A and B are shown apart, each in its own frame.
Chain A
Amino acid sequence: AQSVSQHNHHVILSEAASLELGCNYSYGGTVNLFWYVQYPGQHLQLLLKYFSGDPLVKGIKGFEAEFIKSKFSFNLRKPSVQWSDTAEYFCASIGGYQKVTFGTGTKLQVIP
């Protein structure tokens, strides 16, 4: 069965600090990986996605993620966070038969 795990449950950063949120997946077949963001009071939105090809994926708002197959990881990064990045971030995978699995989420709080 596929699973997605996020290591950090709550991260607090100052503005301009660099961000890296961990995501590991386990699935024997081909996976499609996603990062979603949920701003306070808003619905889940797609940040970026990985299907194949270049393992470094660029998303919206300056986010990127790197797929490392050997480590089963798909970590989210941003060089310099802003207060407006305060949100909850979810890693997710879609495997066979449209099976969708979300990680438990990471709450990011950015302090001005």
Chain B
Amino acid sequence: DAMVIQNPRYQVTQFGKPVTLSCSQTLNHNVMYWYQQKSSQAPKLLFHYYDKDFNNEADTPDNFQSRRPNTSFCFLDIRSPGLGDAAMYLCATSFDHGTRPYNEQFFGPGTRLTVL
């Protein structure tokens, strides 16, 4: 089945130690998103790729970076994780054909990040 896969499902890192989360998709969607979701809060969009074009949200800290080497893969790099970065990180994809209406997003299961 076509899907959005996130690895690992659980990640433990130390304060200040860089960490990379990965997302892959078999849907061949051209848009990929990264969200941060803290307990009992709405998913917060960090950034998204429209094809190779990177779109950063204005309030996303510089500590968060992303790479999309090809259509299928997207990575979230947290350069120096702080305690406040502990959260669930969600990857999502959608297909944008360039005109409205915008299609829905397909979400992966998320990676739960713990910072010690």
Contact = CB atoms under 8 A, between A and B. Distances in A.
Interface residues on A, range: 20 to 34
A70 interface: no
A90 B44 CA distance: 12
B90 A44 contact: yes
B33 interface: yes
B107 A104 contact: no
Given A32-B100, A32-B102, A34-B104, A105 B109 contact: no
Contacts of A107: 40
Nearest to A105: B42
A90 B55 contact: no
A14 interface: no
A104 B96 contact: no
B24 to A, nearest CB: 14
Nearest to B31: A98
A90 B43 contact: yes
Nearest to A41: B109
A100 B90 CA distance: 14
B50 interface: yes
Given A32-B102, A46-B104, A100-B45, 6 more contacts: A32-B100, A43-B90, A44-B90, A44-B105, A98-B48, A107-B40
3 closest residue pairs by CB, A with B? A51-B101, A102-B42, A44-B107
Interface of A: 30, 32, 34, 36, 42-46, 49, 51-52, 90, 94, 97-105, 107
